[in-house]
Structure formats: structure tokens, C-alpha cells
Structure 1
């Protein structure tokens, strides 16, 4: 199975400049993508009473929206590869806005599932995927920091929307609030406008030429040498081109990548318990008799802590001690989430929920800041767009089923503690799995690196020996071929 991706791309990202404006645009786009489904939980209790539905039925609203966002990943990836990040994000903002406006006229819960869940979730996918992809084309050395800052958008937007949604509901009801939210989310169009194509330097062997890039240009630049070498083989040229076109959108070879499989397996289990605790945090507080504004304030506390821990996690992940083994940092973050959920039912009263919200914000922010950085660390920036598309389409299953299954536990037992216990197990088990499997993966990578180094040393010694023999005997390759003498690994024998 192939090792982790090399970290020396053919092109050199600027690591700054307009890239920071792109990070700000991604900050807004990612913020709405992740925070919007969570902030809508403020309206769940009232919508549940309005349509006379159960906890599991109202939980489907966030689940369908999140699942559509994840399932739309491959579609968004194809559009980004074809058109670039800017137009895709702007179209996504318009889709979410239209979905909220249409939902405000809903007469059944199925209407909300279709508008908010499907149309809105697909629009969020068009906001999330391009924002994640374009950061890798602007940053390399400072990429963990840039990713951490961009991912901070989620808690910042949630911190703002949680109390705002409660105010909007008190003033206009849930229908009027959805109309106002439809206008607010149009800020994603402004964020997409910042994601302009920039300049990159493609480093060839003899010269460096500036070229425009957007969408899949990073992948194309990273594979330019391989493509040129394959073009020199006329018998396989067409076959190679057709395979490249297919792999540009769906790189199935990732399913033979050891690190990608470890990441995928752990994440599939993890996402069964990742979003449900956030979705049910405010309803859980109201169930305990806490007033509506105090319940909404728990989300603000969670978001405030999350807001500061994400860039801090990016800074820590970028240090020379953590960056080479950043997968262990991610494993700890996932396990920390599980422990927080297992201890949540033991927290007494509102003060206990405040303490839980603080630690949950720490744990959730660490995972969110490292989630896509660790995937990029495993597969490389040039394969990240395809990898994140495959990951999101597979993860949409647990994202869709997680909150409704948790809601079903509340319906069955009439208490929230069993839901939090289940989510804790779903987070702690993959955290331990990540620790074990990444230890194995790092060990195998070290062995493969030592073998490659030994092979390169042996090849170098053989080449030096042949060159020495040629020099002593006065024999050169031109005596046989008429071409000037060249020494390389291919003609050293």
C-alpha cells in the first residue's frame, strides 16, 4: 500500500499575500456551512410543537441538512475542478438563501426536510468544499495555521447566530426568522468573491513560469511531471489520458492508500456521535427546566471556547514537535470528545452544563481544526480535493443517522443521559483506534523510508562504480551510440 504523500509539490504556494483574504473568505463560508445547521436547533422545540412531532423526527431536520452537505461533496468537487472555487461558493450562498425563504412558507415537516435539509444542505456543500480546497493552493508551510483560522469561522458564526436566532424567534416567530436568515446567508456570496484565482510558480527543471490557477490546478501542477513522462510512451498515451481524466474526479486508488483507509474507517464511526451532542445541547437544557435564553447561551459558550481553540490548535499543530506526528494530536482530540460526553450526565444543574459546554468546546474545536488538515497530511494537497469528496459522500451516512438515532434514545428512555453515553462511546472507540493504527502507520512509513534511503545509497554507489570504470577504461557511451556521454540511473548499466 502506498505511503503518506510527499510534501514537496511541484508548485510553490505563496504562503501569504492574497492568501489571507482567501482565508477570510473561507472563514465566512466554512462558518455558515458548519454553524447554520447547529444554530437552527434553537427553533426545534417550537417547530416540534407546531407540527406535533417526536424528538427523532425533528432531529431529522439537522441530519438531512448535514447529510446533504456531506453527500454533495463529490458534486462540489467536480464543479470546483471544472470552474474553480469562486463561482461554486457564490451559487451555494444563493441556494441556501432560497432554501430558507421557501422553508418559511412550509406547511408540513416534509416541506422543511426538502427545503432546509436537501436544498439548503446541498448549498452548504457548495460553500464548504471549495473553501477547504483553495486553502491548500495558497498555503504549504503555514497550512495548519491557515486551516485553523478558516475553521474558526464555525464557532464565530455560531456564537453570533445562537442568541440572534432566539431574538429573531421572539420578534418574528420561526417563519419570519427563516426569511431573515435567508438574507443573512447571502454573505457567502461576498465570501466567494474573495476566492479569486491567483498566481503560482510551476517549478520545472530548467525554468519557472507564472501561471493562473483555480480549482484543480494544484492537482494538475503536482502531477505535471508524471503526465509528461507518460506522454512519451505512445502505446499507452490515450489510456493514460483517459485514466487521468477519471482520476481527476474520482481517484479510486485512494482506497488502496493505507493512511486514507485508517482515516476513513475511524471517521465513519466517529460521526455517529459527532454532531448529536451539539444538536441536543439546547433542548437538553430546556428539558431540565432552564429558560430559553440561558439554554441558547450554552451554545454561545460552546462557540466562544471553540472560537479560540481552533486557531490555537492550528498554531500548536504547526510546531516542529507536533507537525511530523500530527495524527496523534488528532487521535487525542477525538478521545477527549468521547470522555466529555461520557461525563456530561454527571454534570449537576446549569453550572454543570456550563462546565460541560466549556470542555466540549475545547474538544470539538480541536477535532474540527485538525479534521481536514490531517486528511491533507495523509494524501497530499494535490489529491485532497478528490479525497475530501470521497470522505464526505461516505460520511453522509453516519451524519444522517447519528442525530435521529440519538433522538430515538431520548424518545425511548425519556432521558438524555443514554444519548450522551452512546455518543461518548462512538467518539472514544475511534479515538483509541486512531492511536493504535497511526502508530502502526508511522512505523511502516519509517521502515519504507529507510528502505528507500538504502536503495538510493546502493544505486548511487553502483553508478559511481560504473562511472569510475568508464573513466579508467576510457570508454564512453558515444562510442556505441554516437550520443554524448550521460550518466543516470537509467543508463548506468
Structure 2
């Protein structure tokens, strides 16, 4: 090996200390060692990038083993059983099951709209009384969030989804035997609670299976709503013509039992997130009551209740996290007029001499637009340049704004052509809203608090979902015109979109200003150069016309 060369391990041989060659040898070694080290660094970076998914899988396997030992309900991912890694593997099966669950739950209000006039005729009720049926179902679907959070924490997502499938199927089957409109209200509570368990538990487990591809997974799962909008109105219209509304409810109840099959494939992944509720509040509380008496017991009960609220309803996030609070208020406001058009567009079209089959076709066209847009949006939002930008909320707010404005088109004319244009624009905006609804929320809270934050926001949404359709029914009964409903929905949706966009713009501006202030303070607080106490100074005389004599450090 000659001087200046580098061996295979990137090490240079010691230079030969000949007279006049010492400096040259050091120069040759340095010039050749730097590119070699750079090449090794680049190769190591490529290897680290290629093995990123493998390292994530190993980490999840290591974390799953102790979790499975302490929680019998979990399944560890070992080499002896089929390993489950985030962002792939069994997660694609869970994604497919979530799509089917959303098709059978979130799109169900469009199915109820087909039977709206039949229910009015059967029970001789007004628009206000009839509108309580889908309103109660939707409100309970969202208000049951804290209860769903408890079940997820206690039993896991798999059991919760299967329980929800049983409840929703049972509720619709019993509704087919209803003799009064009040009985439909009661069965609507049972069905809505089942929808809540299946829908929210599915969304929660999706957040644990997908991390890097979370935006893509959420967007693809939202295509289930579009799939339901395409199929459910046509199925409901066919069943109504063949069996009437009672037979249709019975068949639809049997169809909802398929949610149990979807829940069966949603097995746990990674470290168990379920904690035994009684493990922290049972025996210690009893001992405290025995030792400290009734007063201490009341204090412990109050603390336990506060811990329950924090765990399952995320009231602490509503107070401390301003971004989550703003987002929850904006979404709750949006829901006041977001679902109402889906409930009343079919009665509006039929009231203007359109056949029920053509009105059902409008709902299917809405589903076709939605299922065409959501996969494209999923691929766009999953691009590296889009991930982690924190700008999804502005796209979401813009979609809410457009969705609100589109309702004015529907109110302008009841013709099929105008309603078709309305369905296209409404479907585009609704697709973006459904694609980004949970992705934006996951950017505002930590994933380990997502199920409780979702439960609280869903409970807030249930209030506006409950009063929205009945208020629209009162408006129709008092004016005799369906068009005023869509004008009201337009105002509500437009204002909520403006609120979200303006609020997050202010919050982002404040965050950027705080970051700039912090950087400036860090720069100002950098320590100055401190000279060693044994520094030697020499007085360097200045030249004519220059600065006076200055002391310079010459030796340390």
C-alpha cells in the first residue's frame, strides 16, 4: 500500500515521516479519506431508509409481547404468529372492514330518506314529528362516544364493533314492528347506539394500524360512506317497492349484522391500549372509605369522577388545547346543516313531482361523485410534500365553505338538472370533508387521547345533529316550502367554514410569532467568548489614520 491510499475499511496507513513529505502525506490522506467517509455515510443512510419499516415492525413486536402478557385480550406479534406491523400487513384487511362498516353506518340517513313519505303516511305525522326519527338516530350515533370510549378501553375495538353490529341490526329489526312513531324513536336510539360503537371503534383502530400512511388510510376508509350512498338508496328503493317499509327495515336489520363480521377481523395491534377500569378505582377506593370514613369516600368518588371525565370525554383537552377546542366547535357548528340536506333532498324532489326512483338516483349520483373523489384525495394527501405540513385544516375549512354555498343551488330550482349539478358540487365538498375530518383531528391531539377526544367531539356534534332536522321540519311546516331549509343550511355551513379558516389562521400566526421570538431570544442568550485567565497580550501599535492601539491575543 502506497502513501496516501486508503484500505477497504476506510483507514489510512500512518504517513512516513520523511523530510519534506510530512505535510504532503497528511494532505493526501485527508483528500482521499473524506470522499471515502462520505460514501460510507451515504450507504448507511440508504440502508437505514430501506430498513425503516422493518425496524418499526420489530419495535411493535417487542412492545406487544409484554402487553400481551398483562392483557389476555391482546395478540402479540411474534414470528410464530402472523406479525402485524403498522402501515401495512393485516392493516389492509382492517381498512377494508372499516370501509364496509362506514358504508353501513354513516350513509344510513340517506336510506331513511327514501322511507320519509311512507312514514308520514303510515303514522299521519307532520314533517317535524317524522324528522325526529333520523335526528335521534344520528344524535345517539354521535352522543354515545364516551360510552364507546369506555368499551374500547375495557374490551378493545374488536368486541365493541361486534356489539355495535348486534345492536344496530336488532334496532332496525324491531323497528319493522313499530305501531306508533314513538316506538320508532325508541328503536332509533338502539340503532344509533349500535352505529356509534361500530363507527367510532373502527376509526380508533385505524389510527393504531396506520401511522405514516394515516392520511391515506383515513381517506380510503371514508370511501365507505360514498359506497353506502351509492348502494343503500337503490337497495332501499327496491326493497320498498317489493316489501314496503316494514319488510325493508327487517331486511336492512339483517344486513347490519354484517358489521359483526367486520369487527371480527379487527384484532389488536402493538401495545395494548385497553386498561381495566376497575384496576385503579376498586380496592383502593374501598380501603379509603373504610379508613377515612364517608367524607374521604365522597372526595375519592369526586376524584374518580374527574378522572373518568378526563379519560373518556377529554374535557381537559377542551380546556387546555386551543386547537382542539377550535376544531371541535367548528365541526359541531358545521353539523347543524351538514346532514339536513341528505334527509330532505328526496322529499323536496318528490314534493315537486319527481318520482321516487329518480330521487333515489340523485342520492346514488352523490355517492358516485364521492367514491370517485375520495381515492384521488387519499393519494394526494398521502404524498410526502403534503404529510406533516399542518395545512390540512385549511383544505377542510374550504370544503366546508363550498359545501355550505352549494345548498343555494338546490334551493334555486327543483328540476332534475339543477339538483344533479347540486349533487355533484355537494359530493365533491362532502368527499373532502369526510377525507380530512379525522386526519385534521389527529393533528390536534395525541393518538393515545384520540378515542376520548373523538368521543367528546361526537357528543358535541350530537346536539346539533339532534336539533337540525326537527328545526328544518318546523321551517317546512310553518312555510310550506322546502327551499328555505337549504337556504338555512347554506348560511350555517358558510359561517362555520369561515370560522374554521379564520381561527386557525390566527392560531398559526401566533405560533409562528412565538417561534420567531423564541429563536431571537436563543440567539441573544448565546454565551460570549470567554478568554482563558492565562492569556498573554501584546500591545500592537496602530498606523497613522487608523484606530488607536489595540490589545490582541497572541498566545493562550
- Shorter-chain TM-score: what band? 0.7 to 0.9
Q: What is the match of residue 139 of structure 2?
A: 67
Contact 1:259 1:441 in 2 (8 A): yes
2:182 corresponds, among 97, 101, 110, to 110
Residues 1:119 and 2:190 aligned together: yes
Contact 1:33 1:128 in 2 (8 A): yes
Contact 1:29 1:188 in 2 (8 A): yes
2:258 corresponds, among 187, 191, 201, to 187
Listed as ranges, the matches of 1:457-476 within 5 Å are none
Q: Deviation of residue 457 (structure 1)?
A: 7.1
Listed as ranges, the matches of 1:125-144 within 5 Å are 125-144=196-215
Q: What is the match of residue 432 of structure 1?
A: 498
The alpha-carbon distance between structure 1 residues 43 and 197, as it changes in their structure 2 partners (threshold 3 A), is same
Listed as ranges, the matches of 1:46-65 within 5 Å are 46-65=118-137
Gaps of 5+ in 1: 1-8, 201-211, 218-237, 473-493
Residues 1:36 and 2:108 aligned together: yes
The alpha-carbon distance between structure 1 residues 384 and 315, as it changes in their structure 2 partners (threshold 3 A), is same
Please give the alpha-carbon distance, in whole angstroms, between the structure 1 residues aligned to 2:313 and 2:412: 46
Provide the secondary structure at the position in 1 that maps to 2:443.
helix
Q: What is the match of residue 392 of structure 1?
A: 458
Residues 1:288 and 2:352 aligned together: yes
Q: What is the match of residue 9 of structure 2?
A: none
1:77 corresponds, among 149, 171, 180, to 149
User: Which has the bigger relative contact order, CA under 8 A and spacing at least 6?
Assistant: 1
TM-score (structure 2 length as normaliser): 0.72
Listed as ranges, the matches of 1:271-286 within 5 Å are 271-286=335-350
Q: What is the match of residue 78 of structure 2?
A: none
Provide the secondary structure at the position in 1 that maps to 2:357.
helix
The alpha-carbon distance between structure 1 residues 297 and 246, as it changes in their structure 2 partners (threshold 3 A), is closer
Q: What is the match of residue 220 of structure 1?
A: none
Residue-pair matches, total: 423
Q: String of CA shifts for 1:403-452, please: whole Å, max 9, x gaps.
A: 11112111111111111000000000011111111111111222344455
Please give the alpha-carbon distance, in whole angstroms, between the structure 2 residues aligned to 1:443 and 1:315: 29
2:508 corresponds, among 442, 451, 459, to 442
Contact 1:342 1:425 in 2 (8 A): no
Q: What is the match of residue 254 of structure 1?
A: 317
Provide the secondary structure at the position in 1 that maps to 2:337.
coil
Please give the alpha-carbon distance, in whole angstroms, between the structure 1 residues aligned to 2:91 and 2:520: 39
Contact 1:314 1:370 in 2 (8 A): no
Q: Which has the larger radius of gyration?
A: 2
Provide the secondary structure at the position in 2 that maps to 1:53.
coil
Q: What is the match of residue 206 of structure 1?
A: none
The alpha-carbon distance between structure 1 residues 456 and 75, as it changes in their structure 2 partners (threshold 3 A), is farther
The alpha-carbon distance between structure 1 residues 346 and 245, as it changes in their structure 2 partners (threshold 3 A), is closer
Please give the alpha-carbon distance, in whole angstroms, between the structure 1 residues aligned to 2:257 and 2:273: 23
Please give the alpha-carbon distance, in whole angstroms, between the structure 1 residues aligned to 2:108 and 2:126: 22
Provide the secondary structure at the position in 2 that maps to 1:195.
coil
1:165 corresponds, among 236, 249, 253, to 236
Q: What is the match of residue 370 of structure 2?
A: 306
Provide the secondary structure at the position in 2 that maps to 1:16.
coil
Please give the alpha-carbon distance, in whole angstroms, between the structure 2 residues aligned to 1:465 and 1:127: 63
The alpha-carbon distance between structure 1 residues 458 and 188, as it changes in their structure 2 partners (threshold 3 A), is farther
Please give the alpha-carbon distance, in whole angstroms, between the structure 2 residues aligned to 1:216 and 1:442: 35
Q: What is the match of residue 421 of structure 1?
A: 487
TM-score (structure 1 length as normaliser): 0.81
Please give the alpha-carbon distance, in whole angstroms, between the structure 1 residues aligned to 2:431 and 2:267: 28
Gaps of 5+ in 2: 1-55, 61-84, 277-299, 536-556
Let me know the Cα RMSD of the aligned residues: 2.6
Provide the secondary structure at the position in 2 that maps to 1:415.
coil
Contact 1:134 1:215 in 2 (8 A): no
1:349 corresponds, among 415, 419, 422, to 415
